[in-house]
Structure 1
């Protein structure tokens, strides 16, 4: 097989494992992506029922409570992966999550409480729309290029360094540096 093709394959595999070190959750996310976000909405989850009953018996607004009390955290911070849609139970247990996690939890609670709402999926954001109010805010991002750069910005610095260093090694960076140094030293003779 051509050396460049092998390097491209190795580079892709390497980057995947740096961005998705938790392979089990990466597999679950692949299944979630195929099934769609709606498949994670679970009004019958015992944790969702307990939370919904708490809201109902204490006259608490589910939207305000979830968006104020479930701390925003990236999937890197919570699950160590680039992307992962958490179940409502996972979001409740962790007490934090990103926009998808909060929207999935809120929609699950609202379905249990028979509140009419819908999940809105944008290019780089997810929120719940109820009575024409976007809970979780609306993204103004219009361009997929902006989405891509926002995604790159979200990657922790250490992972960026690991990716750059790994690609440097895969593509023979050290050997190339030695050859450049050798050429420079021979040109001075």
Structure 2
């Protein structure tokens, strides 16, 4: 037991725990409580396989954060919140969920190449429902593998083939931007997406690597 404790304590972290807590404290008490809970989940998930990590972080944010539109949370039509900003509000929209899950999984050591934030057209309410813009996080076990989808709309991580309600438009991560979910990069996301560039800066200031 003592050896396990020492190994756990000495395991190098892929996030700056002190910086995260300090940044959360500046946001407010709800963010600080959320940061402590998130760090506990990340410590617990550190030794899990990729599927375990995906499920742990997907469940954490889906259960803790209320789904709300930016206009209701921020008084703006479109605002990309950092993880700690979202924690303090206790609410966020689809982009905020995807962003928080992305940075948390990368902090757990998951390669950026396996993750993409994906803009999709989502069929809401079945075939007779409405189509709306939506964002999810996709995980690729290999470059040409079928992605797994982490979504704020449902709690289960599902393969893309089980999400016929989603039609990809474009995807991106810290290293590239793609049309749809294809393998051919179409540009630099930080140059094409100003909000992504801004949230990268904010997240790194919060201790995410």
TM normalised by structure 2 equals 0.41
Q: Between Structure 1 and Structure 2, which shows a larger proportion of strand residues?
A: 2
